[in-house]
Amino acid sequence: MQRWDIFCRVVDNFGDAGVAWRLSRQLSAEQGIQVRLLIDDCATLARLDHRIDPQKSEQVVAGVTLCVCGYAPHDPLKQGQLLQQPAAVVIETFGCGLPEEYLLAMAAQQRASLWINLEHLSAEEWVEGCHGLPSPQTRLNLTRYFFFPGFTERTGGLLREGVRPPPGSDPGGGLTPCSTPSSLRVTLFGYEGAPLQEMIHTWANSPIPIYCEVSEGTPLAAAAAVQLECAANASLSVVGNLHMKWVPFCDQVDFDAPLRAANVNFVRGEDSFVRAQWAARPFVWHIYPQAEDAHLIKLNAFLDRYTAGWNTGLSKRYRQLAMAWNGEGDIGVAWTALQNDWTSLQEHAETWSKSLLKQSDLASNLAKFAANLL
């Protein structure tokens, strides 16, 4: 059986680890590939899957060989034979780099490994022209290929399991979304820096009840507890029309159910961002902040694609909400402006999800790409 090595450095916390872990499991389960995931932060990964032991340097979980691998020079995690046997296909996630020992071992082989850099997901038009391009690495006589996830057939596609409930068919473990507009059920997952205080004030003064669930142990969960002046062990706070509930942080495979059960999902990074789209529910994306506001270019590119064909007023209001949640505008004003639009946003979410389902998924596209080059 062919072996693939996937390297991951955890920078965006659950985002990087989540994508690498989901991809690893899917390649193993659906493509019949022997996968070894080499990651520098097993503790973060263990929060996404309770089967993972963060104390073990090597273990097999869900058919994937999971290895802890450090990147710093002379890191003890790099000792032994871990990096001495390169795989036939090497996936470098998000430009994380490969350990020098591993690169040297790749270059020393009679037949070089296929080296693919899995880039960050982007809706920008230029990624179609760069997807699949080779980049010669002359120092070691190796070639590195760029593979871009994306939203069109000319990109690498999106992570999606081969067997999945159709959009809207299973509202999350038997849970039923609150009827709109009599009340709204919301999930909350984002980075530090989100305008949470303003949003809490807006929800508390909402004309309809807002039932918000936030995962324990996340930045927004802690911030919400401070804003609502909750006791350390509180699990529910009711202020005005806001019902804020702190729920246990769940495994990655269990995350889809609450997304499908909600009316609106606030998500972040890449993994939960994509899952929100498969949930076929309205969502607000908190994109990972970058220097010089480069992330806002990516956000606007996605909004352009997502809202294409909408009427001008709805498109403008939804964009204002997305931008305000990312620090560009008044979140309270933006949220209130959409109070009569939730039915339309739900219809658009379902249409968008169904359109993406017509495209091939990321893991399948990666397997085909590798097969054509090996």
Closest CA to 351 of 315, 307, 312: 307
Pairing assessment for the beta strands 134-137 and 142-147 based on DSSP bridges: antiparallel
Question: What integer pLDDT is reported at residue 112 of this predicted model?
Answer: 87
- Cβ neighbors of 2 (< 8 A, separation 6 or more) are 33, 34, 88, 89
Pick the catalytic residue from 12, 16, 40, 271: 16
Domains of the chain plus CATH, in order, are 3-158+359-373 (3.40.50), 184-357 (3.40.50.2000)
Would you say 205 and 241 are in contact if contact means Cβ atoms under 8 Å apart? yes
Q: 271 φ, ψ to 5°?
A: -65, -55
Q: Is 216 a catalytic residue?
A: no
Span 128-174, pLDDT tens digits: 999 999 999 988 899 999 999 999 999 999 999 875 544 444 444 44
Identify whether 16 is a catalytic site residue.
Answer: yes
Residues 6+ apart with CB under 8 A from 139: none
Give the distance, in angstroms, between the CA of residue 370 and the centroid of all CA atoms in the same chain.
23
Sign of CA dihedral 170, 266, 214, 230: negative
Catalytic residue, candidates 5, 119, 213, 270: 270
Nearest to 285 by CA among 3, 15, 9, 5: 15
Low-confidence ranges of the chain (pLDDT < 70): 1, 12-13, 71-81, 163-181, 232
At residue 166, the pLDDT reads: 46
| pLDDT score recorded for residue 164 | 52
Contact call for residues 246 and 236 (beta carbons, < 8 A): yes
Residues 6+ apart with CB under 8 A from 140: 103, 104, 106, 107
What is the pTM for the complete model shown?
A: 0.92
The percentage of the chain sitting over the pLDDT mark of 70, rounded to a whole number, equals 91
167 in helix, strand or coil? coil
